[in-house]
Copies of this chain bind each other. A is one copy, B any other.
């Protein structure tokens, strides 16, 4: 399934890479697309392996708020 997270505080390419990298590390995530200007992060994942709550936590652990 595809989940879109609204992430706040990403300001630069390093932020984009940090969020993308943290999500891609999760087992069950197959692709991540970060839209830096809007803050939207599209995550394609297998919900039986990784649920939205785990995606949110991975982003928050990088220091960003998820709406």
Measured CB to CB, the residues of A under 8 A from B are 9, 11-15, 17-18, 63
Copies of this chain held together in the complex:
2
- A48 CB to closest chain B CB, in angstroms? 33
Chain B residues within an 8 Å CB radius of A63: 13
* Interface of chain A, main secondary structure: helix
Chain B residues within an 8 Å CB radius of A9: 12
Chain B residues within an 8 Å CB radius of A14: 12, 14-15, 17-18
Q: How far is the CA of A38 from the CA of B63 in the complex (A)?
A: 22
Chain B residue at minimum C-beta to C-beta distance from A13: B63
- A1 CB to closest chain B CB, in angstroms? 30
Q: How far is the CA of A14 from the CA of B13 in the complex (A)?
A: 9
